[in-house]
């Protein structure tokens, strides 16, 4: 069962502990949980099974560090984040290996994630000195009004496994830039990337108690409840499923926390028959649907193709999928790795079986790739999809693409909006009037027009409806970790004194 780490340039970045108050610690109970390579099933290592008493220490450390950290100059925090960014770039190869090892994505994709993750530290290092307030003309004679932005306090951050580096930097970056301290719960499937980032934070000179990384598996519900109900935690940011988001939101209500949720998606991807370049639309759909083997919250989940181009689009799309190479992420030439665990493979297969039982046809794939391991599922394309199939209403989170035919613009927008969630949506069209009509009508927080990739540190990331609220990245991201205080000065209307 033993499995040695990939050869890292700096083996000290592989850490089987939790990071609390500037120190690497185990659980008081001595308990640990195992982490396995999704490609091979082999043991990677163990991490501490922290309980609520352990996490209480992390919250207290963050609480004690906050009064001093909040008074640091924005420029000083900027330099800390910039050093952390540079350490990520300097250690990018090792970080990418850790991501591939515990998440399964191909090494090339992992390298791309490291650069994307690091960009949030760079971006928010540039935002830290620019948390401007306002001066406001008062409506009361003699008064002067100004506002200042202040850090909200200790932040609880809960992140998912699909982007082990980027999901944590996208939250920690703005929190530290704002002057907050954090307790981050890393995912039980992929804790080692977060631990490596914590080690780099230590090397970057982030003061002790400012960044705390806690790990747990069986105790995760209890740890989550502590973070969301603890009176010292003033803000919670969560990325994950809508169902878990509902639970955390209910818990957070007990102490009226400031919260931001980035929850599930069910992204529509629409190809109109006035598309200017069908090959570009195919490439966009491939990138959107199959990135990370379909395991991103902004993946195209429902691909709607207008009937005038349906057959030709389907043919070219299937041809591209047939060129994929499935396998372990460290193997040469691999384009797609495993899904995170066997449950994910089972869900993908359930969606395929449901669709075929209701009239869809499998054009490529459609089976578990058991010869490679229990967590591999063949990249799959289904045609003849209809709205009564599970794939139309549930997020697959796997490498299954269903192609739905449609006739009119209004019909497809109605279909696209038939979802309780609204994170991302995409469409391809060459008609500028249609582009504005459809972009404005889609009930989502982010729209990709003539592109299948929308993730960019400069662009606000977040959804509407039951995909949550709040925005990450961009100039808006830091505001999620700040409060606005108004200051009113009275007696200021006197004339110049003789």
Annotated active-site residue in 47, 155, 180, 297: 297
Q: Is 342 left (phi over 0), alpha (psi -120 to 50) or beta?
A: alpha
CA angle 462, 464, 470 (to 5 degrees): 45
Residue 51 and residue 18 in contact, taking contact as beta carbons nearer than 8 Å:
no
Annotated active-site residue in 262, 409, 472, 480: 262
How many helices and strands in the chain, by DSSP H and E? 14, 22
Give the Cα separation of 397 and 289 in Å (integer).
Answer: 9
- Running DSSP on this structure, what letter comes out for residue 368? B
Give the Cα separation of 155 and 59 in Å (integer).
Answer: 9
For residue 443, the tally of other CB atoms under 10 A from its CB is 17
User: Where are any strands of DSSP class E within 165-208?
Assistant: 181-185
Closest Cα partner for 212 from 32, 29, 50? Answer: 50
Closest Cα partner for 51 from 72, 29, 70? Answer: 29
User: Between 92-103 and 191-203, two packed helices, what is the crossing angle to 10 degrees?
Assistant: 160
Closest Cα partner for 162 from 335, 3, 328, 339? Answer: 339
CA angle 297, 301, 306 (to 5 degrees): 140
Residues 6+ apart with CB under 8 A from 279: 316
Q: Where are the alpha helices (DSSP H) in 265-405?
A: 278-290, 310-322, 342-357, 390-393
23 is catalytic: no
Give the Cα separation of 123 and 117 in Å (integer).
Answer: 10
Q: What is the DSSP string of 443-470?
A: -SSEEEES-S----TTS-B--EETTEE-
Q: Is 236 helix (H, G, I), strand (E, B) or coil?
A: strand
Give the Cα separation of 256 and 366 in Å (integer).
Answer: 46
Residue 376 and residue 345 in contact, taking contact as beta carbons nearer than 8 Å:
yes
342 is catalytic: no
Q: Is 149 helix (H, G, I), strand (E, B) or coil?
A: strand
3-state SS of 72-132?
CCHHHHHHHHHHHHHHHHHCHHHHHHHHHHHHCCCHHHHHHHHHHHHHHHHHHHHHHHHCC
* Residues taking part in catalysis: 262, 297
């Amino acid at each position: 069962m033993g499995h040695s780490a990939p050869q890292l340039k700096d083996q000290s970045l592989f850490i089987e502990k939790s990071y609390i108050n500037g120190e690497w610690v185990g659980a008081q109970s001595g308990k640990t949980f195992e982490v396995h390579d999704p490609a091979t099933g082999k043991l990677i290592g163990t991490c501490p099974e922290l309980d609520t008493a352990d996490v209480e220490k992390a919250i207290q450390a963050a609480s004690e560090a906050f009064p001093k950290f909040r008074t640091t100059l924005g420029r000083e925090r900027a330099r800390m984040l910039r050093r952390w960014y540079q350490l990520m770039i300097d250690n990018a190869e090792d970080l990418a290996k850790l991501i591939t090892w515990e998440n399964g994505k191909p090494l090339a994709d992992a390298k791309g994630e490291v650069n994307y993750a690091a960009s949030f530290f760079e971006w928010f290092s540039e935002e830290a000195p620019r948390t401007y307030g306002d001066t406001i003309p008062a409506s009361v004679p003699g008064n002067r009004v100004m506002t200042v932005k202040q850090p909200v306090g200790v932040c609880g951050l809960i992140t998912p496994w699909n982007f082990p580096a980027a999901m944590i930097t996208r939250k920690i970056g703005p929190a530290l830039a704002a002057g907050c301290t954090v307790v981050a719960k890393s995912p039980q499937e992929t804790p080692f990337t977060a631990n490596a980032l914590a080690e780099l934070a230590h090397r970057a000179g982030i003061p002790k108690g400012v960044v705390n990384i806690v790990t747990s598996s069986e105790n995760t519900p209890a740890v989550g409840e502590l973070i969301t109900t603890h009176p010292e935690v003033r803000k919670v940011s969560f990325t994950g499923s809508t169902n878990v988001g509902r639970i955390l939101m209910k818990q957070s209500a007990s102490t009226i926390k400031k919260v931001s949720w980035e929850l599930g998606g069910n992204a529509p991807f629409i190809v109109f028959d006035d598309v200017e370049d069908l090959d570009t639309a195919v490439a966009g759909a491939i990138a959107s649907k199959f990135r990370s083997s379909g395991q991103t919250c902004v993946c195209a989940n429902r691909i709607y193709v207008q009937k005038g181009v349906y057959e030709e689009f389907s043919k070219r799309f299937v041809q591209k999928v047939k060129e994929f190479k499935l396998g372990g992420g460290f193997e040469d030439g691999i384009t797609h790795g495993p899904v995170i665990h066997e449950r994910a493979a089972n869900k993908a297969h359930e969606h395929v079986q449901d669709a075929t039982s209701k009239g869809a046809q499998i054009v490529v794939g459609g089976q578990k790739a058991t010869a490679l391991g229990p967590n591999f599922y063949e990249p799959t394309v289904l045609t003849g999809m209809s709205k009564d199939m599970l794939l139309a209403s549930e997020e697959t989170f796997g490498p299954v693409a269903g192609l739905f035919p449609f006739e009119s613009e209004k019909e497809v927008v109605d279909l696209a909006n038939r979802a309780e969630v609204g994170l991302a949506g995409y469409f391809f069209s060459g008609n500028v009037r249609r582009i504005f009509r459809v972009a404005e009508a889609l009930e989502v927080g982010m729209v990709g027009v003539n592109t299948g990739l929308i993730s960019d540190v400069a662009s606000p990331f977040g959804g509407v409806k039951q995909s949550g609220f709040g925005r990450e990245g961009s100039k808006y991201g830091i505001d999620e970790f700040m409060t606005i205080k108004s200051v009113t000065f009275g007696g200021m209307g006197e004339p110049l004194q003789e």
